[in-house]
Structure 1
Amino acid sequence: MTVLAEAPAGIDDRLARRNALVLAVAQALAGGNTAVVFGTAGLVGTMLAPDPALATVPVSTFVVGQWMGTLPVGAIAKRYGRLVTFELGTLIGLFAGLICAAGVILGSFPLFCAGTLCGGLYAAAHLTYRFAAADTASDAFKPKAVSWVLAGGVMAGVFGPQLIIATKDMLPEYVFAASYLAQAGVAVVAALVLLLVRFPDQRSGEVRAAAPPRPLAVIFRQPRLITAVICALASYATMNLMMTAAPVAMIACNHSVTDAALGLQWHVMAMYAPSFVTGSLIVRNGTGRVIGAGLALTAASAVVGWAGTSLAHFWGALILLGVGWNFAFVGATTLVTACHTASERNKVQAVNDFLIFGTMALGSFASGQMLARDGWPLVAEVVLGAVLVAVALLGWVALAGRLRNIPEA
Structure 2
Amino acid sequence: MTTIEARAALHQRTLSVVMASQVFSGAGLAAGVTVGALLAEQMLGTSSLSGLPAGLYTGGSAAAAFLVGRLSQRLGRRVGLAAGYAAGALGGAGVVVAAGLGSVPLLLVSLLVYGAGTATNLQARYAGADLSEPRRRGRAVSAVLVTTTVGAVIGPNLVASTGRAAEHYGLPALAGPFALATIAYVIAGVILFLLLRPDPLLVARDLPAPEEPARGTSPAPASSGVVAGAVTMVLTQLVMVAVMTMTPVHMRAHGHDLAATGLVISLHIAAMYLPSLVTGVLVDRIGRVPVAVASGVTLLAAGLVSATAPDDSVPLLALALILLGLGWNLGLVSGTAMITDAAPPATRARIQGTVDLCIALAGAGGGIASGLVMTATSYAALSIAGGVLALGVIPFVLSRGRRA
Would you say same fold, with TM above 0.5?
A: yes
| TM-score bracket, shorter-length normalisation | 0.7 to 0.9
Q: Among 80, 85, 93, which residue is 1:90 paired with? A: 85
More divergent stretch after superposition (56-65 vs 143-152): 56-65
> What is the 5 A alignment of 1:12-23?
12-23=7-18
Q: State the partner residue of 1:329.
A: 332
* Contact 2:292–2:393 under 8 Å retained in 1: no
Evaluate the alpha carbon distance shift between residue 11 and residue 381 of structure 1 in structure 2; reply closer, same or farther with a 3 A threshold. farther
Amino acid aligned to 1:197: L
Give the Cα separation in 1 of the matches to 2:89 and 2:172.
Answer: 19
Evaluate the alpha carbon distance shift between residue 379 and residue 48 of structure 1 in structure 2; reply closer, same or farther with a 3 A threshold. closer
Q: Among 25, 34, 50, which residue is 1:30 paired with? A: 25
Percent same amino acid at aligned positions? 25
Amino acid aligned to 1:224: G
> What is the 5 A alignment of 1:311-350?
311=313, 313-350=316-353
Q: Among 356, 359, 362, which residue is 1:356 paired with? A: 359
TM-score normalised by structure 1 residue count: 0.84
**Structure 2: runs of 5+ lacking an equivalent:** 213-218
Q: Among 376, 379, 394, which residue is 1:376 paired with? A: 379
> What is the 5 A alignment of 1:213-232?
222-232=223-233
Q: State the partner residue of 1:114.
A: 109
> What is the 5 A alignment of 1:35-46?
35-46=30-41
* Contact 2:148–2:273 under 8 Å retained in 1: yes
Q: State the partner residue of 1:233.
A: 234
* Contact 1:63–1:117 under 8 Å retained in 2: yes
Q: State the partner residue of 1:285.
A: 286
Deviations 1:208-262 (A, max 9, x none): 6789xxxxxx77972222211111112111111121233334455x462455443
* Contact 2:57–2:364 under 8 Å retained in 1: no
* 1:206 paired to 2:205: yes
Amino acid aligned to 2:345: A
**Alignment RMSD (CA, Å):** 3.0
* Contact 1:10–1:207 under 8 Å retained in 2: no
Higher relative contact order (CA 8 A, sep 6+): 2
Give the Cα separation in 1 of the matches to 2:303 and 2:196.
Answer: 39
Deviation (angstroms), 1:26? 1.0
TM-score normalised by structure 2 residue count: 0.85
| Secondary structure at 2:184 match in 1 | helix
Deviation (angstroms), 1:303? 3.0
More divergent stretch after superposition (19-28 vs 308-317): 308-317
Deviation (angstroms), 1:338? 0.5
Q: State the partner residue of 1:173.
A: 170
* Contact 2:95–2:110 under 8 Å retained in 1: yes
Give the Cα separation in 2 of the matches to 1:320 and 1:98.
Answer: 32
* 1:64 paired to 2:59: yes
Q: State the partner residue of 1:155.
A: 150
Between Structure 1 and Structure 2, the one with more helix by share is 2
Evaluate the alpha carbon distance shift between residue 199 and residue 296 of structure 1 in structure 2; reply closer, same or farther with a 3 A threshold. farther
Deviation (angstroms), 1:322? 1.5
* Contact 1:10–1:136 under 8 Å retained in 2: no
Give the Cα separation in 1 of the matches to 2:345 and 2:198.
Answer: 13
Q: Among 186, 189, 194, which residue is 1:188 paired with? A: 186
Evaluate the alpha carbon distance shift between residue 234 and residue 324 of structure 1 in structure 2; reply closer, same or farther with a 3 A threshold. same
Evaluate the alpha carbon distance shift between residue 317 and residue 52 of structure 1 in structure 2; reply closer, same or farther with a 3 A threshold. closer
Q: State the partner residue of 1:256.
A: 256
How many residue pairs get matched?
390
Amino acid aligned to 1:37: G
Deviation (angstroms), 1:52? 6.5
Give the Cα separation in 2 of the matches to 1:201 and 1:26.
Answer: 15
More divergent stretch after superposition (282-291 vs 378-387): 378-387
Deviation (angstroms), 1:313? 4.6
* 1:136 paired to 2:134: no
Amino acid aligned to 1:361: A
Deviation (angstroms), 1:337? 0.4
Amino acid aligned to 2:362: T
Give the Cα separation in 2 of the matches to 1:288 and 1:277.
Answer: 16
